[in-house]
Amino acid sequence: MKKKLVVLTGAGISAESGIRTFRDNNGLWEQYPVEDVASIEGWHRNPELMTRFYNERRLQLPTVHPNEAHRLLTQLEEQYDVTIITQNVDNLHERAGSTHIIHLHGELMKVTSSLHPNDPSQIRTLSPDQLEVKMGDKAADGSQLRPFIVWFGEAVPQIEAAVNATLQADLYLVVGTSLNVYPAAGLVNYVPNDAPIYLIDPAPVSWNSMHQMTHIQKGASEGMRELMKTLLPAAS
């Protein structure tokens, strides 16, 4: 039986593909206040701005591609039972070939109802030739279409699935996240005591868990190359 490898990914892994992050220098929050483009209050205040903002993010997706870190995570599925828990809303893990992905913060390629955003009957995936949503475009229930994104001020519907996956981990890997955004940052507290934790991030990380971890202080792809030397022999 394959060991269970659970991976928590954040903006740092997608940044290497050219997707701008919110928090880093020259990040999106320097152009757009978070309350304007990433909160439910912002949607109620100015849905036109948020619709345009996420259209721009969505139109960028076809111009970027999975990087080596994404591909190496897919490669690990040959010898591990891999579950990826991602805070990213892009589809780079899917495009790299990963097969079991939990999107904590929603999916950029999907849209949903403004009234019932988590109702599965209201969620649909946009086609590659129709990536822009316009004001007046309606969900099945007649409300304005909105991005299928979990904004500040909203519950995180997939957090229970993420906790359940974390509880089953034989190994836990964190890639490209500062562990500053909750509830995702709290997932490390559910890692079993006997499961090694590896963290790949070039910046110093404030580690508040009692669980010991190994910090590979490198970028996502370089760090994954280093970690593969440890993980693949361990699986044989």
The domains of the chain, with CATH numbers, are: 1-19+66-105+156-236 (3.40.50.1220), 20-63+109-149 (3.30.1600.10)
CB 46 within 8 A of CB 36: yes
Determine the angle formed by the axes of helices 68-75 and 220-235, rounding to 10 degrees: 10
CB 211 within 8 A of CB 45: no
| pLDDT reported for residue 88 | 96
d(CA 6, CA 104): 14
| pLDDT reported for residue 31 | 67
| pLDDT reported for residue 44 | 96
Cite the active site residues: 105
Task: List the one residue out of 229, 220, 203 whose CA is nearest residue 84.
Answer: 220
| pLDDT reported for residue 21 | 61
Mean pLDDT by 10 residues, the chain (236 residues): 96 89 49 84 95 92 96 96 97 97 97 97 95 96 98 95 98 90 87 96 81 93 95 63
